[in-house]
Amino acid sequence: MVTGSWLNSGVRRGTVVPVRHPVATLWHVPVESVYPRLEPLLPHVSKPVQYVGGEPNATVKDWDETTVRWCLMYPDAYEVGLPNQGVMILYEILNEQPGVLAERTYAVWPDMEELMRRHGVPQFTVDAHRPVAAFDVLGVSFATELGYTNLLTALDLAGVPLRSRERTDEHPVVLAGGHAAFNPEPVADFVDAVVLGDGERAVLEITELVRRFKAEGRPGGRERLLRRLAEHGVYVPGFHEVTYRPDGHIERVRPTREGVPHRVFKRTTTDLDEWPYPKQPLVPVAESVHERMSVEIFRGCTRGCRFCQAGMITRPVRERSKRGVEDMVRRGLEATGFEEVGLLSLSSADHSEIGEITKGLADRYEGTNTGLSLPSTRVDAFNVDLANELARNGRRSGLTFAPEGGSERIRRVINKTVSERDLIRTVSTAYASGWRQVKLYFMCGLPTETDEDVLRIATMAKEVVRAGRSASGRRDIRCTVSIGGFVPKPHTPFQWAAQADPDTVDARMRALREEIGSDRELGRRIGVRYHDGKPSLIEGLLSRGDRRVGRVIERVWREGGRFDGWNEYFSYERWVRAAAEVLPPLGVDMDWFTTRERTRDEVLPWDHLDSGLDREWLWNDWQDALQAREQEDCRWTPCFDCGVCPTTGTDIEMGPSGRPLLPITPVRDGSPVPNTAFDTPSGDR
Amino acid sequence: MYPGLRPVGRPRRSTTEETLSQYQPATVTGWKVRLRYTKRDRLRFASHRDLTRVFERALRRAGVPLAYSRGYSPHPRISWAGTAPTGVASEAEYAELRLEREVPVETLRNELRAALPEGLDVAEAVPAGAGSLEERLLASRWWLELDGVAPGETSEALCRLLSRDSVEVERVTRKGRRVLDVRAAVVSADSVDPTEYGVHLDAVRDRHSVDAPHTDDCPDRARQYGIIVMVVRHTTPVVRPDDVLNALRVVADLPVPGVARATRLAQGRLDEGGAIADPLAQDRAAAGSRQVGSTLG
């Protein structure tokens, strides 16, 4: 056992919230479970099962038999956080390591928060209900910026100081990751360290650094550990100083410690077949937003949609082999019993072997009541073939396509190359093969967008219904149009763009609605779903904000801001008010961060964080966008020098995988899992 | 999400299936098996919908050849008899599964037990005999813990409740505000000495194994518990343990906690002595005689 107080060796009772009545120990419990204090609160909160853990494939390890302890957090409600692949993958990778323990925590709803505060129950993990403050590392996965206020709630409930610089050797290292962490500056004051990119190897490296540090007796305390992390390519915002010019622009960002690199590079996991995680996906007891098992069939995307941060920061494309996908599906179904498998990626139909994969899986699981789905499909007749293959066992409810822009011009601006003729042909095929509903995704507020670009969505939707009627010979054809407000994101060609103000976005959406409704007959067959533009503006503030925005986040949180991704909790007024109070004294305001177009030479808050994309290439792509010039995909055309492969030392990894296609034996017995225990001698199989 | 699932408490399917089940044919109509399962520990906070999901997935993990309905959206053929409310534990929940073919019941039980998460356990699996299971589930025996209430106070309050002809309480259901006569549903209720039932408490609450130590669910022995064991008839709408608690508040000024910690101990028909009959006894007897018959044959 190592000694010293840093990073919580053994028992640290009472530092966060005094333990009211020690539990009779039936066995040795070094860090006490808060469950006895939590349980009496559970009957008084909504959906209590989300706080009890015990899900199939969850892991509980003995505290004392481990030396490095991670608490992984998804800063949203359990029902959203549990299915998150990032957390699930890291949870399993860490727990597979001897001497390492990982548990999970999620944002608690305000009803629970209130009771926890009243009864002195700290933020806990759902696995063994251990207090979050007792862990070595609190890893927080930010898929979106709207979880920032929930991080503050969790830290506060855990008894961990909100600000990094106020933490002592007693507290966990707060480590951020996920896509939003590619610009962590707005939360730079609240997190200790940030990992950019894929986490698989990074968490193991960090684990090793923490293990060694603890074994050495924690020389130099917290500061020294953070130094070691920084020296190993982890971004420690506290070691970078940001200075501002009198006009409010960033002057420069530079490291303040020797040995801390100026630039921080993203991590890239290569050879996905070596990382078949999650092998044992968690199966929630509570209802969650994705009632299915996900198998990531490839990572990265080079379609080059200019609005898409995920497509930019996850390059290059790395495919999982056909065999690898099949194995993960088989093992995952055996481990979970899920009724549906989603073949996950940023554009699943683009897998070079997708046809064989879907056919193989559909054959294998026919008759087992196992659904297969391909989220994120592009507008392409090939996708309809795939969908037909997947829907062979019945279910033929709706197909989703994402043209994203209403007019051909705006689609060229965003580099979402699809012609209206392609779209009509695609949906016609879909309706002709028995699909009754098509859902179309669009964005509003795109750079260079005019009212006409948006109104064009109405024309397209009507045309879709007409084409569907003639292709299927039926009148009960439906088309749903779903529109979201565009938010410019860091590390994309649109990082310099002015975000459209909410009034413009709302006016265009209203006009579109009227335009669709103007045709009474067709209009009735078209559903329109849209969100107002206000939440997008706040998302924009948080996406492209710098460290000064952190004060807005804290102010909003102190005034009760929680669960900003949820309409019933999000308050636009609260954000606007906080921004108006906090930012002007610093020489900036809400508009400065959102609706202002950036210049080429401006230092962007995330410029020192390297996603591999060449800044010059991004700028040229932005210029191409303004000229409505398209960019090809480097998977099937020559490299266009975006910079990622040379910077990250990687290359495109795609099929054919060259491995022989193994014959897949159909399962067919009601269940996707063959169990020989049920094979009776007189069996009728 | 599960459109095929029958809402709890509604009248069940057509009688055709019942008639068929008497002959237990291993044909396309499948084979039915009845389960008694438990809902303990942390999983008592699962709702009925949560449990159906957990069960269905466990059945699939276990590779049980479960029968599915036909049609546009096939769903597993499981009938749930009136389930314990969210937050309430149970030693006696019942369900009926339809499988595609007959399997050894002990194998089914063992495989399913291994696949279910901690807290859910299959206590019994019996091939379905004739008659409806749900029609036999007419009353429950409950174990009710009143945290922080002395046994003396508890029995005093119970005396008052039982001496009344009617005690009405309100409950907000999905259909709106309903008034329930708790007294009419309560067949018997006794305050029991917790120390006497100490062993039983452990049996109900704890299912810890040595190789998987859990830091949760440690019963706190230092506190005072008023404990009620009661038999309650299943009325419409059903009188839940919380309703009994509210009734106790009506008749006595009892400082009871907001929500009771309750466990259903048994379900079945009421016999003349006010005891609860095992609802699977008939099925067990029928299965036994068939077995004897087939051995002889």
CATH of A292-395+612-678, picked from 3.40.50.2300, 3.30.750.210, 1.20.1250.20, 3.90.550.10, is 3.30.750.210
Which of A43, A51, A54 minimises the CB distance to B119? A54
> Whole-angstrom distance between the N-terminal and C-terminal Cα of chain A?
57
- With a cut of 50, say whether residue A601 has pLDDT above it: yes
Q: For A81-100, write each residue's pLDDT tens digit.
A: 999 999 999 999 999 999 99
With contact defined as beta carbons under 8 Å apart, do B33 and B124 qualify? no
Q: How much is the pLDDT for A663? A: 55
From chain A, the residues in CB contact with B216 under 8 A are 33, 35-36, 128-129
Instruction: Using pLDDT thresholds of 50, 70 and 90, give the confidence band for residue A71.
Output: very high
Contact A287 B65 (CB under 8 A): no
CB A130 within 8 A of CB A124: yes
Residue B208 confidence (pLDDT):
34
pLDDT at A679: 80
H/E segment holding residue A174 = strand A173-177
Residue A236 CB neighbours (<10 A): 27
| E-state strands within A245-388 | 250-255, 264-265, 293-296, 298-299, 318-319, 340-344, 371-373
Residues in chain A with CB shorter than 8 Å from the CB of B83 are: none
- Within A283-419, residue ranges assigned H as helices are 309-313, 322-336, 354-365, 381-390, 408-413
- Which pLDDT score, from 0 to 100, does residue A394 have? 56
Neighboring chain B residues of A130 at a CB cutoff of 8 Å:
215
**Residue B144 bridge partners (DSSP):** B228, B262
Rounded to a whole number, what is the distance in Å from the CA of A440 to chain B's nearest CA? 23
pLDDT for B173-202, tens place per residue?
888 899 999 999 999 999 987 666 554 554
Please, what are the domains in chain B? Answer: 15-135 (3.30.70.580), 139-209+220-268 (3.30.70)
The 3-state DSSP class for residue A30 equals: coil
DSSP helix/strand/coil, B282: helix
B43, B51, B61, B202, best to mutate vs chain A, most A CBs in 10 Å: B61
> pLDDT band at B17, cuts 50/70/90?
very low
Domain ranges of chain A: 47-236, 292-395+612-678
pLDDT number for residue B194:
67
How far is A120 from chain B, CA to nearest CA, in Å? 18
What is the average per-residue pLDDT within B18-46?
73
Asked if A60 lies within 8 A of B220 by C-beta distance, the reply is no
> What residues of chain B lie within 8 A of the CB of A36, using their CB?
216, 218, 220
B25: pLDDT strictly greater than 70: no
Give per-residue pLDDT as tens, A110-135.
999 999 999 999 999 999 999 999 99
Does pLDDT of A7 surpass 70? no
Residue type, position A282, single letter: L
Chain A to chain B Cβ contacts (< 8 Å)? 157
B63 vs A394: CB contact, 8 Å cut-off?
no
Nearest CA in chain A to B223: A21
Is the pLDDT at B92 greater than 60? The verdict is yes
**Inter-chain residue contact B61 with A334, CB threshold 8 Å:** yes
Whole-number mean pLDDT of chain B?
80
pLDDT tier at A434 (50, 70, 90 boundaries)?
A: confident
For position B99, what pLDDT does the model report? 95
* pLDDT the model gives residue A396: 62
Q: Does the beta-carbon distance from B218 to A678 stay under 8 Å?
A: no
Q: Kindly report the average pLDDT of chain A as a whole number.
A: 91
Q: How many percent of chain B have pLDDT more than 70?
A: 76
Over residues B272-281, the pLDDT tens digits come to 888 999 999 9
Long-range contacts of A291-294 (CB under 8 A, 24+ apart): A291/A338, A291/A339, A291/A340, A291/B1, A291/B53, A292/A338, A292/A339, A292/A340, A292/A341, A292/A342, A292/A371, A292/A373, A293/A332, A293/A333, A293/A336, A293/A338, A293/A340, A293/A341, A293/A342, A294/A83, A294/A85, A294/A341, A294/A342, A294/A344
Residue range B279-287: mean pLDDT, rounded: 93
pLDDT at A4: 33
Q: Which residues of B touch A670 (CB under 8 A)?
A: 64-68, 99-100
Which tens digits make up the pLDDT trace of A553-595?
999 999 999 999 999 999 999 999 999 999 999 999 999 999 9
Of B47, B68, B87, Cβ closest to residue A369: B68
Residue A127 has a pLDDT of 97
Question: Which of A53-67, A513-527, A661-675 bottoms out in mean pLDDT, i.e. has the lowest?
Answer: A661-675
In Å, how far is B113's CA from the nearest CA of chain A?
A: 13
Q: Give pLDDT tens digits for A137-152.
A: 999 999 999 999 999 9
pLDDT at position B193, please?
A: 76
For A460-476, letters b (16+ CB in 10 Å) and e give bbbbbbbbbbebbeeee
CATH superfamily of A47-236: Cobalamin-binding domain (3.40.50.280)
User: Which residues of chain B neighbour A669 with C-beta distances below 8 Å?
Assistant: 63, 65, 100
- Give the model's confidence band at A685: pLDDT under 50 very low, under 70 low, under 90 confident, else very high: very low
Indicate yes or no: CB of A678 within 8 angstroms of CB of B208. Answer: no
How would residue A26 be classed by pLDDT, with cut points 50, 70 and 90? very low
pLDDT at A665 over 60: yes
Per-residue pLDDT of B103-156, as tens digits, reads 999 999 999 999 999 999 999 999 999 999 999 999 999 999 887 788 888 899
B86 contacts in chain A (CB < 8 Å) = 48-49
CB contact under 8 A, A670 and B216: no
Which chain A positions have a beta carbon within 8 Å of B31's beta carbon?
Answer: none
pLDDT over 70 at B22, yes or no: no
Whether A446 and A428 have beta carbons less than 8 Å apart is answered as no
| Closest-CA distance of chain A to residue B148, Å | 12
Average pLDDT over residues A459-471: 93
Q: Among A24, A25, A337, whose Cβ lies nearest the Cβ of B60? A: A337
Residues of chain B found within 8 Å of residue A24, distances taken between Cβ atoms:
218, 220-222
pLDDT digits (tens, 9 = 90+) for A516-544: 999 989 999 999 998 888 999 999 999 99
A673–B215 C-beta distance less than 8 A: no
Name the token pair of B58.
Answer: 């466990």
Work out the average pLDDT over A395-402. 75
Indicate yes or no: CB of B215 within 8 angstroms of CB of A395.
no
Instruction: Decide if A337 and B87 are in contact by the 8 Å CB cutoff.
Output: no
Average pLDDT over residues A312-337: 96
pLDDT confidence bin for B256, thresholds 50/70/90 = low
Interface confidence, given as ipTM, is 0.89
Which is nearest to B149 in space by CA: B285, B297, B256, B296?
B256
CA distance A35 to A39: 6
Whether B271 and B277 have beta carbons less than 8 Å apart is answered as yes
* pLDDT for A385: 81
Nearest CB to B72; choose among A52, A394, A669: A394
Evaluate if residue B216 carries a pLDDT over 80. Answer: no
Nearest to B57 among A24, A40, A336 (CB): A336
For residue A2, pLDDT beyond 60 = no
* Closest residue, chain B, to A669 (C-alpha): B65
